[in-house]
Structure 1
Amino acid sequence: MQQVAGAPGVSGTPDAPKAAPDGRRARWTEHRRARREDLVDAAVAAVREVGPDFSVDDVGRSAGVSKTVIYRYFSDKDELIDAVLERISRAILLPRLLGELAVDRRDDRERLRAVVAAFVALIEDEPALYRFAYAQTGRAGRADLVAATEHAVATALGGLIAERLTQAGRPAEGAMTWAYGVVGMVQLAAHWWSVARTVPAADLVDQLTALADGGLGTLLPPRS
């Protein structure tokens, strides 16, 4: 049977050359990602300068672009707010709090104190971002940074508590209950203090540490 010229795999008739990969789509995707990051930088700066009720125009002034340009990269202000919340969590909140929990301190009280101090320092260092994060709590259908941060920190603390209990041969079922109890207590008390300011920040850290350590100290085995 006669072979068809140009058919793939036929001797003497090489396959048609494949099209070279088009890098334009990848370059555009990277450009869009980088541009969004720049605009989120500008939005964070606007929150720090103007406060939680920043406008898209405020972001435009910070970035040196028009509102129209911003809406090329974000469908609406809610999407921009979500990106700012994600940035605060990824770059500011969680590195501070989880970083302190990750430090291997032999003294449980000192570990607790370091995490409490980091949270209080965040309120002191970034008051506008802190107020912004809490202003978004409970938005219907949107990301809840406060709840997500509480979950991440409580999960990490619960793992440490469970590890201590397991090493001592004790049941670890209560680890997450105690972890959420500590995180919730510190978060709510510090949030109240952020407005009331009844004591200096250092005293607040000492008071919250004493309460948290007093509770956990009766539940956790002593370190060997």
Structure 2
Amino acid sequence: MASNVKADGRATRWDDHRAQRKEEFVRAAVRAIDSLGPDVSVSDIATEAGVSKPVLYRYFADKAELHAAVGAWGTALVLDRVITAVLLPAPTRDRVTAGVAAYLDTIAEHPQAFLLLTRQHAGGDPLAAGKDQIAAKLARLLGDALRQLGGDAGAAEPWAHAVVGLGSSVGQWWLERRTMSRAAAAGYLGDFIWHALSGAAAEHGVQLTALDPMAGDATVRPLRKGTDG
């Protein structure tokens, strides 16, 4: 029995070590992409990580799996920043604006890495799982808001996926073109998303500005960031 415990302990330590090494390699991949651009090779990433290419492939089956791991890193970063901004105590429209600004600020910190993630790949979309994860989180927030207002919560999921698709497209466009400042792009995108959501909600008899905190009320309500409708 004791031998089984020891074996289990060794397996757990190995799993932890492997997970830690994978995280280190993902961070190295991000550094390499940031430095060399979205066309960086696996060899370049291995060099940045201080290992050989075969060692890297012990942890990732192929380049697509490595890109997917970078996609998971990007998803976690975007979710953390955007959800934090969206849940701040503020008017609903301001919450939307803040969430959009947080998103563009985040991808601007690692423009080459997010360009790699938003472009088409032969091995599949490295952000596919991440987009679903972000959409699911937004759908829960929207669903809570609509239920609180007595609206049709069934709209939350398609609306959330629409917002994610729009954000991904505009983010890629801005990273590639830079035809306006990040603040201007965030303002235009935030306005569009707000009017799309508030207009669609109004069609169903729901006013999203009803979620705005009352004067002196610090309670965080589901959807927000804005002034008035």
Report TM bin, short chain.
0.7 to 0.9
Change (3 A) 1:212 1:48: same
> Residue 171 of structure 2 aligns with which residue?
190
CA contact (8 A) 2:104 2:171 kept: yes
Report the counterpart of residue 223 of structure 1 in structure 2. Answer: 210
Match of residue 37 from structure 2: 51
Cα root mean square deviation, aligned: 2.6
Q: CA deviation at 1:46?
A: 1.2
Report if aligned partners of 2:67, 2:126 keep a CA contact under 8 Å in 1.
no
Are 1:167 and 2:154 matched, yes or no? no
* Range 39-48 or range 173-182, more displaced: 173-182
2:85 paired residue number: 100
Pick from 118, 129, 138 the counterpart of residue 113 of structure 2: 129
Q: How many correspondences in the alignment?
A: 203
CA contact (8 A) 2:115 2:172 kept: no
Q: How far 1:202 moved relative to its partner?
A: 1.0
- Name the % identity: 33
1:68 aligned to 36, 54, 59, which one? 54
Is residue 36–residue 73 contact of structure 1 (8 Å, CA) maintained in 2?
Answer: yes
Letter in 2 for 1:21: K
If asked which structure has higher relative contact order (CA below 8 Å, sep 6+), I would say 2
Query: How far off its partner does 1:138 sit?
Result: 5.3
Distance 1:72 1:186 in 2: 34
Counterpart of 1:114 in structure 2 is: 98
Normalising by structure 2, we get a TM-score of: 0.74
Q: Distance in 1 between matches of 2:17 and 2:11?
A: 10
| TM score, norm. by length of structure 1 | 0.76
Task: Point out the structure with max Rg over C-alpha.
Answer: 1
Structure 2 residue 17 is the aligned partner of structure 1 residue 36? no
Q: 1:43-63, CA deviations, whole angstroms, 9 ceiling, x for partnerless residues?
A: 222111112222222122212
Distance in 1 (CA, whole Å) between partners of 2:64 and 2:163 is 32
